[in-house]
A and B are shown apart, each in its own frame.
Chain A
Amino acid sequence: MKRFLLLGVLAAAGCQGLQNLDVSSMTGGRINSNVDLAKVAKGVNQVRKGFSEISESEEYYIGRAVSAQVLTRYKPLNDPGLNAYAQKVAQAVALASDRPATYKGYHVQVLASDEINAFAAPGGFIFVTKGMLELVRSEDELAGVLAHEVAHIAKKHGLKTIQTSRLTSAFTILGSEAAKNYTPQQVSQLTTAFEGAVDGEGGQLRSGRPQGVPRAHGEGRGLGRRRHVQDPPLPRQARDRAG
């Protein structure tokens, strides 16, 4: 497992793929037309300049909303043993990362999909498909896949894809009114900015295949599939270990 932890971290360190995906088909992200953007931009520069200034708690709420979208597109796998096992491996990997603690920790959900995929949402949310779990041949390989996703979260790759302009109105409200309760209009403005951030993020997830998994492995010639027909697939091994 040590070797794959290292491999996973190294693979993730070189991965920029998620930042280059097309998000043009995603909806949302409009700035409230009542906001004077020029004035706003000036004020914002004094306070928060971009994704790096999105707070820990906001990152968590963006991640929750992205995850809430994911879980309508994919059905969560109802297998407590397998989910617990994936959670355990992910937490073990996260402990060794640059960011062992997020706002509310790391959480994993196995998806009932034969796609070979794994992806991360900001703040600590990780998804891995049943298809991916059937493809990996060992705990080390699973650790490598999850380390890749942990690295995306630790490095805040998802937040980097959010256009700062989509957050401008939110930053302004926070700049002037952060100590007070929000008015309905402010909640509406924040929600619009939130939608922009979340939808941009959601678009990144659609093709979140880890770069360490070659396309041909599971979807082309099917070499991986033939191999695991002969060997017990990980889910069965995982259930044994998780018990």
Chain B
Amino acid sequence: MMKRTILLGAVLALSAVAAYASTITVLVQETSLRKRPQSYSPSVGVARLGQKLESLGVEAGFHKTPSGYIHSSAVTTRKASLSGGDGVGGSATADEVTLAGKGFNAQVEKSYGAKNGSAVDFAAVNAMERRSVPEAVLFEFLRAGGLMGEGGSK
């Protein structure tokens, strides 16, 4: 009787996961896949723009995928096409605009820059964007400040 109950429970649990499993699409250029559903958890991989992953559920704001946890703000759960033309009524959705690199993009920025000349300084913005702190350095900084929770970046 006990065995049967355990078996039934396992089948139900697996069914629930299978029912929830869905495809998510990455909407940022690059983001970490983490070991646990925590921002300070170590990175176990990288997900890139347009990459499709299987979501096995959401825990603490992170989608659980077979490759690691990814923050829900970096993905869309809606179906999105890389070509950017398969949305509602044959029109592009915002997600598809991102994936297709359309809308306000580098081409529009170039036109805007030419029109506004000395009123804009994109070279300074480029220099600003090159500034980034590697995760290992950042985690060491947090650890030194006593901000790593239990388990920390391990």
Contacts and interface: CB of A to CB of B under 8 A. Distances in A.
B102 A178 contact: yes
A99 interface: yes
B137 A174 contact: no
Contacts of B91: 43, 46-47, 174-176, 178
B4 to A, nearest CB: 44
A103 B50 CA distance: 12
B120 A88 contact: no
A191 B94 contact: no
Contact of A178 (B71, B96, B121): B96
Contact of A68 (B39, B87, B113, B138): B113
Query: Chain A interface: which size bin?
Result: 35 or more
A9 interface: no
Contacts of A194: 104, 108-109, 112
Contacts of A64: 109, 122, 125
A239 interface: no
A103 B29 contact: yes
A190 B147 contact: no
Nearest to B115: A191
A71 B143 CA distance: 34
Nearest to A154: B73
Given A47-B92, A72-B118, A58 B28 contact: no
A93 to B, nearest CB: 10
Contact of A190 (B28, B104, B133): B104
A117 interface: no
Interface of A: 1-2, 5, 43, 46-48, 53-58, 61-62, 64-65, 67-69, 71-72, 76, 83-84, 87-88, 91-92, 95-96, 98-105, 107-109, 125, 139, 154, 170, 174-176, 178-179, 182, 187-188, 190-191, 193-195, 197-198
Contacts of B56: none
Given A71-B125, A187-B107, A174 B98 contact: no
20 contacts: A1-B145, A47-B88, A48-B94, A55-B95, A56-B94, A57-B97, A57-B103, A58-B98, A64-B125, A65-B112, A68-B113, A88-B141, A100-B71, A100-B74, A101-B71, A108-B128, A109-B124, A174-B103, A175-B91, A190-B103
Question: Top 4 closest A-B pairs, CB basis?
Answer: A178-B92, A179-B85, A68-B120, A175-B91
A105 B134 CA distance: 12
Q: Which of B89, B102, B111 has the most CB of A within 10 A?
A: B102
Given A55-B95, A72-B121, A194-B112, A104 B104 contact: no
Contact of B73 (A100, A109, A139, A191): A100
Nearest to A5: B147
Contacts of B94: 48, 53-56, 58
B129 interface: yes
Nearest to A28: B116
